Structure formats: structure tokens, C-alpha cells
Chain A
Amino acid sequence: MSKQRKAIALISGGLDSMLAAKTIMEQGIHVEGINFFTGFCVEGHTHAIREKDKAKPKRNNSLWVAEQLGMKLHIVDVIEEYKNVLINPKHGYGAHMNPCLDCKIFMVNKAKQWIVENDFDFIITGEVIGQRPMSQRKATMPIVAKESGADDLLLRPLCAKNLPATLPEREGWVDREKLHDITGRSRKPQIAMAEQFGFDDYSQPAGGCCFLTDKSYSAKLVDLWKSQGHKEYQLDDVMLLKVGRHIRPQPNFKLIVAREEGEGRFLQGYKNEFISMISLSHRGPLVLIDGTPSAEDLYLAAQITARFGQGREAEQVDIDVTMLDGSERTLQVKPIRDEDMPKAWYV
């Protein structure tokens, strides 16, 4: 009796990895999923925070995919290890701060370690040649396989027929003829395949599943690095970049202004770690001050805080300031005028 072969599938929660896993499961291979949490995954974050998004159903798509496919999913926290990928990407960044090729190499390498530790046979991904401009090109496919150390244990079922046969194909663990030859950015083949499998509900995020492909988020990350003079970061730093308006009037401090109640509640959790401001005389948002503001800077920050509350047209607004040591004081300010807030202040 032949050995039951086992594969681990990198599951992002999108359609391609779902189809890749299903394609291999159909061949009688035992497949489990693995999902890596870098800290920049789009899954749920801002939806969980913002009040306006609360009406939308929330789900983690990788978990959802695993349940649809009837397979286990291992979610792995790689926040610390991922820092080196983001800070020092050997292959550079994409259009924004997305180190997609290094990221893929890193994740496949982690999957390789996982299969060794768990006695699995090979790795599958939902990669498609030409699907992504940086990490999913014909030229980069062998780079991912080689630099991850996965080599020919890495099988891409959706485009396998356009690539040299991998070990699982050569050994007959999987039938190469039943794999696919998808190329390019068109989604039609995947949508047709989803129909064949009976999948009528799946996620296809336009910008991928990573905040680092987002222009606005990347600008905030670069601003963070520039202001602190180095690229190190903590999870809280990168979480806060997803929330609120970020306004930097001076290099030495910035304001994080809650845009609505949900964000205010989220920022409340960080109140003890930052100087914070809130209007006492009018309704207004909670504002966190990040950096080392002078007394003069705090006055300007209070004027800006007043500008985002209902007292924006008032002659005077009372702003409560809570310092890092917990001491409080009230600043009476005239809200800054729109025309006195240069666009360049908005990160």
C-alpha cells in the first residue's frame, strides 16, 4: 500500500490558494493549510475598529477557506521574524513598501521548516505566472523555490504545467496532467475553476492581502521610520498606522486623530502610552500625540485637536491634555483654520 502523501498549502484566504489546495486534495493528497501573520495582513483589522464597518460580516478568510475545504489551518505568528524581511529586503520593494518577493521566499522557507518538523511531503501555493508584477513572474518562480530552500518540493498547481516538473510530479504523488497552466492577470480561469468546484463565495482583495501594498499605509510607515531615525518597529506602531488621521506639523511630533467612535475606542487603549488630547467644551475626537513635542508644539496640537471637533468655528475651545505621567491640564485655544493647515502635514 502506497504511503499517504501530505502537503501543506499556503493559505492567504484568497481564491488562488483555495483553488490550489482543492486541486491537490482532489488527487487524494492530505492537505493542511498554513497562514502566516506578519502584522501587515489586511484581514479584519480596520473592519474590527471602525464603527462604519461594523454592519459588514466579519470573518478571517483563511479560516473560512480552511473550513470550506474541510482542512486544518495552522496560523503562525511571524511578526518578529518578518521585521528583517521588511527592513532589509534583498530583492527590494514593489510599488510601495511591499517586499513581495522576499516575503514569498520567507513564507515558503517557513513552510519548508514546517514540513520537515511535521513530516509532510511538499508545499503548495496559489501562485500564478504573471499574476503579480513582483513575486509572481516566470523569472521569479525559480528564485522563490531556490532561495526558500524548498526547491522542487514547491508545487504551484495553478500554473504547474508551465514550469518544470517538481518532485511530487516526477514521483507520481500527483498527476501533472490534472494540474493547470494558468498565466497572466486575468481572473477568468480561476473564476471558471471556482464554479467547477462549486465555490460561489470567495475573497478576491484588489490590492492583495497586505497593507504594505497600500500607498497611504506605506507613506505612514516611511514617515514613522523617518521620524524615529531607524526602521525598527513594534506591532503597536504598525497597528496604529492603520487607524485615524495622521498629521505631522513638525518632524518631532505627530497627531493621531480618531475619525469616529470605533477608532476613538481603539485609541483609548493606547492612552497611557501617549500624550492625549480631547475637547472639554465641545464634542470632539480623542487625539494621541506621538513624539517629543515642546510646550509650543502642544499648543499647536491643541489647536488642531479643536479643529476636528464640533468647536471648529468657536472662538475658544477647552482642550484637556493628559501627559505621559498622568498629569492633566487644560489649554484654551482658538481652533486652527483649514487654510493654516498645509496639506503636507497630512501623512
Chain B
Amino acid sequence: MTIETLNARRLLCPLPVIRTQDKVKQLKIGDRLEVICTDPGVMQDIPTWCRINGHKVLEATAGNHEYTILLEVGSS
């Protein structure tokens, strides 16, 4: 299992989702991706994208105007 980080700061919806989608394509099932954003919309959009595509959100945190989502790649 690898854990990667995606810097999606300053990007506005839906770009953080697109970058997440593109990054996940390069990962394997069970790998984890931490996405760091500044658009609060990701707290809704990335989990929705994960549910649609069979990935799992392990943690979503907000603080200091940043939003971090840790997801695990599923079998989509």
C-alpha cells in the first residue's frame, strides 16, 4: 500500500475532484491518497465522487482554511 499526497490548494471545484480522479487512476486498490484543498466544496464533492466510484473516504478534516481528505482506492 502506498500513501500519496495531492496538493489541490487554490483550485476551485471541480478541479480538485478532477485532479483526484486523475491521480486515483494511477493508484492501485488499497492505496491511499491525501488531498489537501482550500475550496470548502471538496468536503461534499470528493466524498460524493468516492461514493459514485467505489472509493472510501477514511478521514475528512478542516482547519486553518484548509480541507484535507484521506481516501482509500476501491475496486471501481
Partner-B contacts on A (CB < 8 A): 35, 37, 41, 43-45, 47-49, 54, 57-60, 62-64, 66-67, 71-77, 239, 265, 269
Contact = CB atoms under 8 A, between A and B. Distances in A.
Nearest to B76: A72
A265 B40 CA distance: 13
Given A58-B40, A75-B21, A77-B18, A44 B13 contact: yes
A67 B52 contact: yes
Nearest to A71: B52
A64 B51 CA distance: 11
Interface in B42-67: 44-45, 48-49, 51-53, 65
Contact of B12 (A48, A74, A75): A48
A73 B52 contact: yes
A60 B52 contact: no
B41 A47 contact: yes
Contact of A60 (B21, B45, B65): B45
B15 interface: yes
A59 B45 contact: yes
Nearest to B9: A269
A43 B48 CA distance: 15
A92 B40 CA distance: 36
Contacts of A72: 52-53, 76
Given A43-B13, A59-B41, A59-B44, 11 more contacts: A37-B15, A44-B45, A48-B13, A48-B41, A58-B45, A60-B44, A60-B48, A62-B14, A72-B76, A74-B21, A265-B65
A67 B51 contact: yes
Contact of B14 (A44, A54, A265): A44
A58 B13 contact: yes
Contacts of B10: 269
Given A44-B39, A54-B40, A265-B65, A60 B12 contact: no
Output the residue of B12, B18, B38 with the most chain A CB within 10 A. B12
Contacts of B15: 37, 77
B53 A44 contact: no
A44 B12 contact: yes
B44 A57 contact: yes
B33 interface: no
A228 to B, nearest CB: 22
22 contacts: A35-B14, A44-B14, A45-B12, A47-B41, A48-B12, A57-B44, A58-B40, A59-B44, A59-B48, A60-B41, A62-B14, A63-B14, A63-B48, A63-B52, A67-B52, A72-B52, A73-B52, A74-B21, A75-B17, A75-B49, A76-B18, A265-B65
